[in-house]
Amino acid sequence: MSDDTAGATLAEKGLASGEQEVASFEDSRHGPLRQLQGFLHSYPTAIPFIVLIIGILIFTVAAGTRFFAPFNLSLVLQQVTIIGVLGIAQTLVILTAGIDLSVGAIMILSSIVMGRLSVVAGVPVEISFVLGLLTGLACGLVNGLLVALVRLPPFIVTLGTWSIYGALIILISRSETIRSQDIAAIAPMLQWMGARVALGGGAILTAGSIVMILIACVVWYILNRTAFGRHIYATGDDPESARLAGINTKATLIGVYSLAGLICAIAGWVVIGRIGAASPLAGQNANLDAITAVVIGGTSLFGGRGSIIGTLIGALIVGVFRNGPALAGVDVLWQEFAVGGLIIVAVTIDQWIRKISA
């Protein structure tokens, strides 16, 4: 390569030796760090799973049986149900390299539509329930159309619709909460998600938690066992490649945002079940907590990588780190501190794993 006067053949030889250097680089993949990277690349949910186990161990040591008791652990599951369902919706969107800031607003808007129509407007509960679901679907569809057809960045679209759906919440609810007693009297079906199922040893499941797991199973099936699911990953991974490979990326995006909207509407039903009432102020933190759960669960904000199981584990981590410190008598401040640290660690690890092919 040092010979400047070399002809084409020599230049090719130079190329050849360059090639071998690259090849020898690849040999260093067998180092322990590389192996770890390869392992995490194949099993990206390993880290959140380990963090969850460590979290449970720490708080078990710190708070003893107040924390590690069937009742409390099932309480954690109840507490993360809303975050979990919203997180599933958010996972779908983030897999396409998008983000949906409006999931919390869609959830509340749907719950208000269900509650207000059935209690105030006197619409039969089944119909107002379906209209509530359709509200969520329509909100998601609007997001999807703006992202896919108008080609606006998802962040901007959903920042805008977050405000718009928020305004609709105030408009429709007139800032009034539909009281729990009224819903129980007129539309008890809307509170069904709060139904309790006692397991042994003090553990109590709600219908909402079971539904969260059912939704997770359905979405897992869609992502991993249907062509639509594969297209979601491909669209998020590299939209141009996906398009050239024959995938209708616009239809995929519209489908994803719409499905996410529908799942948010179900989350709205879960909210009524959890608090009993249909309140315009419910679930204020759920929006960002859901994004936190998705990110801690190992789903990449750059799209194309991630899983529903990871998101569920992420939601549980958020729940454990909220519940555990309180029981261990630690200042509430440190809960947020720990969750914030986890987000940054999770994204750092994601960046590192993504470099595997470099």
> What is the binding site for other proteins (CB under 8 A)?
8, 12, 15-16, 18-19, 22, 26, 38, 41, 221, 225-228, 230-231, 233-234, 237-238, 240-247, 304-305, 356-357
* Residue located via tokens 């994601």: 350
> Looking at beta carbons only, is 191 or 252 nearer to other proteins?
252
Instruction: Compute the least distance from the CB of residue 12 to other proteins, in Å.
Output: 6
Instruction: Compute the least distance from the CB of residue 27 to other proteins, in Å.
Output: 12
SS3 state at 125: helix
* Residue located via tokens 């553990």: 203
> Looking at beta carbons only, is 89 or 247 nearer to other proteins?
247
> Looking at beta carbons only, is 333 or 358 nearer to other proteins?
358
Instruction: Compute the least distance from the CB of residue 100 to other proteins, in Å.
Output: 21
> Looking at beta carbons only, is 175 or 224 nearer to other proteins?
224
Instruction: Compute the least distance from the CB of residue 86 to other proteins, in Å.
Output: 24
Write the DSSP assignment of 159-222 as a string of letters: HHHHHHHHHHHHHHHTTPPBPHHHHHHH-GGGGGGG-EEE-GGG-EEEHHHHHHHHHHHHHHHH
> Looking at beta carbons only, is 8 or 121 nearer to other proteins?
8
Cβ 189 vs Cβ 115: under 8 Å: no
Secondary structure element (H or E) that encloses residue 318, with its range: helix 308-327
Distance of CA 333 to CAs 188, 337, 344, Å? 38, 6, 17
> Looking at beta carbons only, is 240 or 331 nearer to other proteins?
240
- Which residues on adjacent β-strands are paired with residue 197? 205
> Looking at beta carbons only, is 32 or 200 nearer to other proteins?
32
User: Using CA atoms, how far apart are residues 289 and 230, in angstroms rounded to an integer?
Assistant: 27
Write the DSSP assignment of 31-64 as a string of letters: SHHHHHHHHHHH-TTHHHHHHHHHHHHHHHHHHG
Instruction: Compute the least distance from the CB of residue 199 to other proteins, in Å.
Output: 30
Cα 106-112-115 angle, rounded to 5 deg: 140
Instruction: Compute the least distance from the CB of residue 354 to other proteins, in Å.
Output: 9
> Looking at beta carbons only, is 200 or 246 nearer to other proteins?
246
CB atoms within 10 A of CB 214: 11
> Looking at beta carbons only, is 179 or 354 nearer to other proteins?
354
Instruction: Compute the least distance from the CB of residue 153 to other proteins, in Å.
Output: 21
SS3 state at 122: coil
Instruction: Compute the least distance from the CB of residue 304 to other proteins, in Å.
Output: 4
Instruction: Compute the least distance from the CB of residue 324 to other proteins, in Å.
Output: 33
Cβ 92 vs Cβ 256: under 8 Å: yes
Amino acid at 83: I
User: Using CA atoms, how far apart are residues 271 and 260, in angstroms rounded to an integer?
Assistant: 16
> Looking at beta carbons only, is 2 or 9 nearer to other proteins?
9
Of residues 288, 285, 298, the one with CA closest to residue 342? 298
User: Using CA atoms, how far apart are residues 93 and 257, in angstroms rounded to an integer?
Assistant: 6
Instruction: Compute the least distance from the CB of residue 28 to other proteins, in Å.
Output: 15
Q: Is the dihedral of CA 94, 293, 259, 124 positive or negative?
A: negative
